[in-house]
Protein backbone atom coordinates (compact mmCIF):
# COMPACT_ATOMS: atom_id res chain seq x y z
CA UNK A 1 0.00 0.00 0.00
CA UNK A 2 1.16 3.51 -0.77
CA UNK A 3 2.27 5.42 2.33
CA UNK A 4 1.58 9.06 3.21
CA UNK A 5 4.63 11.36 3.05
CA UNK A 6 6.60 11.25 6.32
CA UNK A 7 5.79 13.96 8.86
CA UNK A 8 9.08 15.69 9.54
CA UNK A 9 7.57 18.88 10.89
CA UNK A 10 8.72 20.00 14.31
CA UNK A 11 5.51 20.63 16.21
CA UNK A 12 7.03 22.18 19.36
CA UNK A 13 5.66 25.63 18.36
CA UNK A 14 2.23 24.34 19.33
CA UNK A 15 3.20 24.80 22.99
CA UNK A 16 3.45 28.56 22.40
CA UNK A 17 0.90 29.33 19.71
CA UNK A 18 -2.67 28.48 18.84
CA UNK A 19 -2.70 25.82 16.15
CA UNK A 20 -4.52 27.32 13.17
CA UNK A 21 -5.59 23.88 11.97
CA UNK A 22 -7.09 22.11 15.00
CA UNK A 23 -7.69 25.36 16.94
CA UNK A 24 -6.08 24.22 20.20
CA UNK A 25 -4.02 26.73 22.19
CA UNK A 26 -2.25 24.09 24.25
CA UNK A 27 0.06 26.49 26.08
CA UNK A 28 -2.88 28.06 27.91
CA UNK A 29 -4.18 24.77 29.31
CA UNK A 30 -3.18 23.88 32.88
CA UNK A 31 -2.32 20.35 33.95
CA UNK A 32 -5.79 19.40 35.31
CA UNK A 33 -7.20 20.79 32.05
CA UNK A 34 -4.88 18.58 30.03
CA UNK A 35 -6.15 15.52 31.92
CA UNK A 36 -9.80 16.48 31.31
CA UNK A 37 -9.30 17.22 27.63
CA UNK A 38 -7.25 14.10 27.04
CA UNK A 39 -10.00 12.04 28.63
CA UNK A 40 -12.59 13.69 26.36
CA UNK A 41 -10.41 13.23 23.27
CA UNK A 42 -10.04 9.51 24.02
CA UNK A 43 -13.83 9.19 24.18
CA UNK A 44 -14.06 10.83 20.75
CA UNK A 45 -11.47 8.45 19.34
CA UNK A 46 -13.40 5.46 20.67
CA UNK A 47 -16.57 6.78 19.03
CA UNK A 48 -14.85 7.34 15.69
CA UNK A 49 -13.43 3.82 15.67
CA UNK A 50 -16.50 1.96 16.92
CA UNK A 51 -19.30 3.88 15.18
CA UNK A 52 -17.91 4.56 11.73
CA UNK A 53 -18.30 1.49 9.51
CA UNK A 54 -15.83 3.05 7.04
CA UNK A 55 -13.16 3.70 9.68
CA UNK A 56 -10.68 1.60 7.73
CA UNK A 57 -11.18 3.51 4.49
CA UNK A 58 -8.69 6.16 3.39
CA UNK A 59 -10.25 9.44 2.18
CA UNK A 60 -7.56 9.47 -0.52
CA UNK A 61 -4.66 7.13 -1.28
CA UNK A 62 -2.05 9.17 0.59
CA UNK A 63 -4.10 10.13 3.64
CA UNK A 64 -4.42 7.75 6.58
CA UNK A 65 -7.80 6.23 7.36
CA UNK A 66 -9.38 6.97 10.76
CA UNK A 67 -8.24 3.48 11.78
CA UNK A 68 -4.62 4.23 10.86
CA UNK A 69 -4.75 7.55 12.69
CA UNK A 70 -6.38 5.79 15.64
CA UNK A 71 -3.64 3.17 15.78
CA UNK A 72 -1.03 5.93 15.63
CA UNK A 73 -2.80 7.75 18.49
CA UNK A 74 -2.91 4.52 20.51
CA UNK A 75 0.84 4.02 20.12
CA UNK A 76 1.53 7.71 20.79
CA UNK A 77 -0.44 7.64 24.06
CA UNK A 78 1.43 4.55 25.22
CA UNK A 79 4.75 6.17 24.31
CA UNK A 80 3.89 9.49 25.95
CA UNK A 81 3.01 7.67 29.16
CA UNK A 82 6.34 5.83 29.13
CA UNK A 83 8.17 9.11 28.55
CA UNK A 84 6.28 10.81 31.36
CA UNK A 85 7.34 8.02 33.70
CA UNK A 86 10.96 8.49 32.56
CA UNK A 87 10.78 12.21 33.35
CA UNK A 88 9.43 11.44 36.82
CA UNK A 89 12.03 8.86 37.81
CA UNK A 90 15.15 9.95 35.86
CA UNK A 91 16.93 13.29 35.85
CA UNK A 92 16.52 14.95 32.45
CA UNK A 93 16.27 11.79 30.34
CA UNK A 94 16.73 11.85 26.57
CA UNK A 95 13.97 10.09 24.66
CA UNK A 96 14.82 7.70 21.87
CA UNK A 97 13.60 8.66 18.42
CA UNK A 98 10.27 7.12 17.39
CA UNK A 99 9.78 6.65 13.65
CA UNK A 100 6.01 6.87 13.43
CA UNK A 101 5.82 6.07 9.73
CA UNK A 102 7.88 2.93 10.25
CA UNK A 103 5.64 2.03 13.20
CA UNK A 104 2.56 2.27 10.96
CA UNK A 105 4.03 -0.22 8.51
CA UNK A 106 5.49 -2.63 11.06
CA UNK A 107 2.29 -2.43 13.14
CA UNK A 108 0.15 -3.05 10.03
CA UNK A 109 -2.17 -0.22 11.12
CA UNK A 110 -4.35 -0.48 8.01
CA UNK A 111 -5.45 -4.03 8.84
CA UNK A 112 -6.10 -3.78 12.57
CA UNK A 113 -9.52 -4.33 14.16
CA UNK A 114 -11.01 -0.86 14.87
CA UNK A 115 -12.89 -2.12 17.97
CA UNK A 116 -9.68 -3.52 19.40
CA UNK A 117 -7.79 -0.28 18.73
CA UNK A 118 -10.61 1.64 20.42
CA UNK A 119 -10.32 -0.57 23.52
CA UNK A 120 -6.57 -0.05 23.60
CA UNK A 121 -6.92 3.73 23.29
CA UNK A 122 -9.38 3.68 26.19
CA UNK A 123 -6.99 1.61 28.30
CA UNK A 124 -3.79 3.53 27.60
CA UNK A 125 -5.45 6.91 27.96
CA UNK A 126 -7.04 5.95 31.29
CA UNK A 127 -3.57 5.04 32.58
CA UNK A 128 -2.07 8.29 31.33
CA UNK A 129 -4.93 10.47 32.62
CA UNK A 130 -4.66 8.86 36.06
CA UNK A 131 -0.92 9.48 36.10
CA UNK A 132 -1.41 13.13 35.14
CA UNK A 133 -4.04 13.61 37.86
CA UNK A 134 -1.65 12.16 40.45
CA UNK A 135 1.14 14.63 39.62
CA UNK A 136 2.30 16.94 42.38
CA UNK A 137 3.20 20.58 41.72
CA UNK A 138 6.83 19.85 42.60
CA UNK A 139 7.02 17.43 39.63
CA UNK A 140 5.80 19.81 36.93
CA UNK A 141 9.17 21.42 36.23
CA UNK A 142 11.08 18.14 35.86
CA UNK A 143 12.73 17.97 32.45
CA UNK A 144 13.18 15.68 29.48
CA UNK A 145 14.89 16.07 26.08
CA UNK A 146 13.85 14.64 22.75
CA UNK A 147 16.48 13.00 20.54
CA UNK A 148 16.39 16.08 18.24
CA UNK A 149 17.33 18.32 21.19
CA UNK A 150 13.85 19.78 21.91
CA UNK A 151 13.53 20.34 25.67
CA UNK A 152 10.38 19.87 27.69
CA UNK A 153 9.23 20.25 31.25
CA UNK A 154 6.51 17.89 32.47
CA UNK A 155 4.06 20.78 32.03
CA UNK A 156 5.00 21.59 28.41
CA UNK A 157 5.33 17.89 27.59
CA UNK A 158 1.70 17.37 28.65
CA UNK A 159 0.55 20.37 26.59
CA UNK A 160 2.48 19.03 23.61
CA UNK A 161 1.00 15.56 23.83
CA UNK A 162 -2.54 16.90 24.24
CA UNK A 163 -2.14 18.89 21.05
CA UNK A 164 -0.90 15.82 19.21
CA UNK A 165 -3.96 13.77 20.15
CA UNK A 166 -6.43 16.62 19.51
CA UNK A 167 -4.78 17.54 16.22
CA UNK A 168 -5.26 14.03 14.90
CA UNK A 169 -8.98 14.30 15.75
CA UNK A 170 -9.00 17.32 13.44
CA UNK A 171 -7.14 15.28 10.81
CA UNK A 172 -10.01 12.82 10.86
CA UNK A 173 -13.08 14.99 11.55
CA UNK A 174 -12.04 18.44 10.29
CA UNK A 175 -13.66 19.92 13.40
CA UNK A 176 -11.76 22.42 15.52
CA UNK A 177 -11.31 21.99 19.26
CA UNK A 178 -13.47 24.14 21.52
CA UNK A 179 -11.48 26.95 23.08
ZN1 LIG B 1 -3.22 21.39 15.82
Walk me through the domains of the chain, giving residue ranges and CATH numbers: 29-173 (1.20.120.450)
| CA 19 to ligand 1 centroid distance, Å | 4
Neighbours of ion ligand 1 (CB under 5 A): 19, 21-22, 167
C-alpha distances (whole Å) from 143 to each of 26, 80, 92, 151, 156 are 18, 14, 5, 7, 9
Provide the whole-model pTM.
0.93
C-alpha distances (whole Å) from 12 to each of 27, 59, 64, 168 are 11, 27, 22, 15
Question: Per-block average pLDDT, block size 10, for the chain (179 residues)?
Answer: 69 92 96 98 98 95 96 97 98 94 94 98 98 98 94 97 97 86
Contact assessment for residue 19 and residue 167, using Cβ atoms and an 8 Å cutoff: yes
Contact assessment for residue 161 and residue 17, using Cβ atoms and an 8 Å cutoff: no
Amino acid sequence: MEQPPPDTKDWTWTIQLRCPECGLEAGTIDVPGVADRLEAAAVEWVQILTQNPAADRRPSPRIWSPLEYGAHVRDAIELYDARLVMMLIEDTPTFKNWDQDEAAIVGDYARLDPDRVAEEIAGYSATLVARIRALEDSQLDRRGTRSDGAEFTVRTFLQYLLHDIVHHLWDVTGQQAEV
